[in-house]
Amino acid sequence: MFKSVHYQAVDPGDRWIKDAAVAIDIDSPLDSSRTLTPNVIRMGGGYRMYYHGLGPGGPEGSHGYILSAWSSAAVSWQKDPGIRLEAGGEGAAQIVWSPDVIPMADGGYRMYVEGKTEQADGSFTSAIISAVSDDGLAWEREPGIRLGGASASLGAPRCLYLESGPRYRLYASDFNEHQIVSAISDDGLTFELEAGFRISRERPFEGHEVYAPEVLPLGTGGYRMYYAGWVSAPEVTSGSAFHGRIFSALSVDGVHWVKDDGICVDKGGGWDTNKASEPCVIDLDDGRFRMFYEACDGAGRWRIASATSVAGGE
């Protein structure tokens, strides 16, 4: 069960073809302003996607919350009614986004999620918090902060079970250093940062940020990471003054990574004119894989788009 969230028997590879239709559109009262940060897991004979939404149907004064949608085949999505997790409390006063849901050993699920809190100078710091659920729909916030807070700004979590040693490894984006880091834990609640960076800014399209790791332990050995690289784009006036693309890397041990050449998913389509970011990968029943990602078009509209791997993950 624990392998079923991130583990893949074969490597999905670095060749992806964008799907023709958007996966989650901005078309309901809870998400008509934006849909962001997808996380998809197999659940109950199908797939459930957790994502950040904002719209006029949300609580008064809300800056964004976690929503969900259901699909039997990861193609057409039916939005679940209501809000899964609202912002508020320590580490997440104004916003919650970038969910990552894993099953727990004693049943139910844990969601790691990035919270954002506004500081006195108007800036925001990010922290990773968590919530638990018996059914994947009703969620209860766990006390405290898992990682980040006043002295560090960390978000976009992805948590893996480990086969030996510490039980969990949590990958995250360090917004102070603009790199990807990791932390380990025995209980999934108290994490200790590991030394160094897992992914650093080294290439032209990563000049501003390397961000939002999606890490897959592989049945063939080692790990595959998909991540976003951002570069400043001062000419962009709607949505975000950055261009984003999705890249990949490989690792033997989950700590030391070697980047692949090229781009997995480039910006420039109908949904992602300016940015493709926050990847999440799920296996399909036909042996292929589907990557969901947040997409920003030329008008500054944020939707969740998708791409499908070349057959067999080659």
* Residue 149 tokens, joined: 């807070």
DSSP codes, the chain: -GGGTT-BSS---S-EEE-SS-SB-S-STTTSSEEEEEEEEEETTEEEEEEEEE-TTS-TT---EEEEEEESSSSS-EEPSS-SB---STT-SSEEEEEEEEE-TTSSEEEEEEEEEE-TTS-EEEEEEEEEESSSSS-EEPSS-SEEBTTB-EEEEEEEE-SSSSSEEEEEEETTTTEEEEEEESSSSS-EEPSS-SB---SGGGSSEEEEEEEEEBTTSSEEEEEEEEEE-TT--SS-SEEEEEEEEEESSSSSEEEPSS-SB-S-SSS-SSEEEEEEEEE-TTS-EEEEEEEE-TT--EEEEEEEEPGGG-
Can you give the residue range of the structural domain that contains 220? Answer: 2-313
pLDDT of residue 301: 95
* Residue 145 tokens, joined: 């902060």
C-alpha pair distances (Å), 218 with each of 6, 54, 84: 9, 35, 30
Q: What is the CATH number of the domain that holds 109?
A: 2.115.10.20
- CA-CA distance, 95 to 97, in Å (whole number)? 7
Indicate the number of domains in the chain.
Answer: 1
Per-residue pLDDT of the chain (314 residues; tens, 9 = 90+): 445 578 999 999 999 999 999 999 999 999 999 999 999 999 988 999 999 999 999 999 899 999 999 999 999 999 999 999 999 999 999 999 999 999 998 899 999 999 998 888 878 899 999 999 999 999 999 999 999 976 789 999 999 999 877 799 999 999 999 999 999 999 999 999 999 999 999 998 999 999 999 999 999 999 999 999 999 887 877 667 889 999 999 999 999 999 999 999 999 999 999 999 999 999 999 999 999 999 999 999 999 999 999 864 44
Please say whether the beta carbons of 295 and 302 come within 8 A: yes
